[in-house]
Amino acid sequence: MLYDIKLVIHYDYATPAGGGRHLLRLLPAHLPGRQTVRSAALTITPAPAERNNFTDFFGNAVTELSLPPGHDKVEFIARAVVDRHSQVLPLDDVALADLPAVLAEERSIARDMPHHFLPPSSRIPPDAAITAFARAAVAGQDRLMAMTEALGRALHTTLTFDPTATTVDTPPSEAFANRTGVCQDFAQIMIAGLRGMGVPAGYVSGYLRTLPPPGQPRLEGADAMHAWVRVWAGPRAGWIDYDPTNACFAGEDHVTVAHGRDYGDVAPVAGVLRIAGGQSSSQAVDMVAI
């Protein structure tokens, strides 16, 4: 599926900012066999005083920038044309009982190796309640892909999607205790459950195409930045993506931007800002099949 993607993020500041430094992870990733980026561009207003592009440890494309003092508005516009390839789920995943021995044979510590995604991370600490829920959800399943799907469906049934219930800094334990959250919370809770059972799992940020109700027109800007989970299912199966918010394996409607251990590794916009007043922001995404 070929997509034309446009993201617009706009910030308004109550008082002019004294300056700011930001890291942006907004452009789709080029992933051989999964998605091909045909073109991509990132426009920043006002023009940065400094701008640099680099690749982080996990292979994500990052734009680093410094904004001049005195600005009261900032706008980031990401444009990309991406070919998202269809995929067939592998049939050679490993069993949970065999996973420790399989992991012991993986000696590399390259950026995509499972060892980085098994220990707790800064935003996803161990949680006994989430682990207990995960073990109950996968009871009767012994292979990693079936366990992934069982846990994802259980979370989809148990959690309520509520964009007002959490913030970007809400811990997974709190979101799980309240049984509410957004895609970030669904993903980080699922990662905590998988890691609690000894399964390597990571966080994925990207774009999701949404379809209007039957008979309704498509609304401009109604698509979304999204988050889901990647699970290491063994050396042959590799990494498998699952979307617990929508209870499905990630497919042609999911376009990856970045992946890491948790949200902190892949935040679309991060950094520091020197400002005396408040701010407001808006975001709109268009993901049009062409």
Is the pLDDT confidence value at 235 over 90? Answer: yes
pLDDT band (50, 70, 90) for residue 217 = low
Which letter does DSSP use for residue 97 in this model? G
Any idea what the Cα angle at residue 280 is, between residues 261 and 272, rounded to 5°? 50
Confidence check: pLDDT of 229 > 90: yes
DSSP assignment string, 166-197: --TT--HHHHHHHTEE-HHHHHHHHHHHHHHT
* CA geometry: angle 68, 259, 101, nearest 5 deg: 150
pLDDT at 230: 98
Domain with residue 137: its CATH number is 3.10.620.30
Considering the domain architecture, whether residues 20 and 159 belong to the same structural domain is answered as no
Q: Which pLDDT score is estimated for 160?
A: 96
CATH number for the domain that contains residue 36 = 2.60.40.2250
- 248 and 122 part of one domain: yes
Domain of 153, in residue numbers: 96-266
pLDDT per residue as tens digits for the range 116-168: 999 999 999 999 999 999 999 999 999 999 999 999 999 999 999 999 999 99
In a domain, 155, yes or no: yes
Residues 6 or more apart whose Cβ sits within 8 Å of residue 84: 1, 2, 3, 34, 35, 252, 253, 254, 255
Would you call the peptide bond into 120 cis, given omega within 30 degrees of 0 as the criterion?
no
- Whole-number CA gyration radius for the chain: 19
189, part of any domain: yes
Q: How far is CA 274 from the centre of its chain?
A: 27
Residues 220 and 107 grouped into a single domain? yes
How far apart (Å, rounded) are the C-alpha atoms in residues 239 and 18? 43
Kindly report the pTM of this predicted structure.
Answer: 0.94
